[in-house]
Amino acid sequence: MTYRIIGLCLATTIGLSPVAPGQTVLIPATSNRVTPTVHAVNQVLPSVVNISTDRQIIVQYKYQIGAVTYRSRPQADHRQSLGSGIVIDQQRGLVLTNDHVVKQAHRIIVTLADGTNHAATPIATSAASDLALLILDDFLPRVAVKDIRFAVPGDVLLGEVVIAAGNPFGLGHSVAEGIVSAVGRNKELNGVYYHDIVQTTISINPGNSGGPLLTLSGEIVGISTFTLNPEYFGLTSIEGLGFAVSEETISAVLPDLRAGSQITTPPDILG
């Protein structure tokens, strides 16, 4: 009988029976528990990475005494942030993520699914498309890490089931499932004009940015990027809503990123 081997990280993520560290779960390939979602996650999750950054920013505080407003002297402030990414070239150790995940970072650490940490350096970034390509230091190819396929640009269906993988709240490799609720959205956020983005029913939590949005075939159709600020709508939270940079944008920008070109204008993907 053929079995599928589900590792500890995946087993705990999708709610299978707990196993001891270093052990695996053997599930018959014919089991009805091995759904298309489980198969896609098992195929892709080893290539998903967690990203942590340290950045130094200059801040200036305002304070008021009576009717007079004063400003403090500019001073350096250290910030840490979390994000996700996906290995797209395991021979070279290339990781695709969001630009805002690594922007202004002076130190980037990428954690692979096997728990190993690697310093990373941006090869190139596209602030206009919110994409960045990193190269891992001292990276050796791993059997489990596969080069993930990209879907054909534009080949995403309204109502199609999709999977988001990432590092929400720094909890580590996690997955969530939803459907494509809209395509071709345009949205400006924090000075970035997102063109032709994909809207899904999957909530994007802090740390999810930069992780892959996948079809049940395990192909990348987007990079999870942002949700809306609930305070803008007078709410405390927004659930079931997330946006991803589309594969059209990725395919238009990625060749220049691989070549080390910094991109400051949006890609022409209108044909």
> Which residues are known to be catalytic?
100, 130, 209
**CB neighbour burial string for 57-87, b if at least 16 within 10 angstroms, e if fewer:** eeeeeeeeeeeeeeeeeeeeeeeebbbbbbb
Amino acid code (one letter) for 265: T
> Hey, is 143 helix, strand or coil?
coil
| Cα 58 from Cα 75, distance rounded (Å) | 5
* 181 burial via Cβ count (<10 Å: 0-12, 13-18, 19+): middle
Rg (alpha carbons) of the chain, rounded to whole number = 20
Task: Provide the token pair at 172.
Answer: 């580590």
| Cα 54 from Cα 107, distance rounded (Å) | 5
> Hey, is 254 helix, strand or coil?
helix
Q: Which region, left, alpha or beta, applies to residue 39 given φ > 0 means left and ψ of -120 to 50 means alpha?
A: alpha
Q: Phi/psi at 69 (nearest 5 deg)?
A: -100, 130
| Cα 211 from Cα 85, distance rounded (Å) | 5
- How many residues appear in the chain? 271
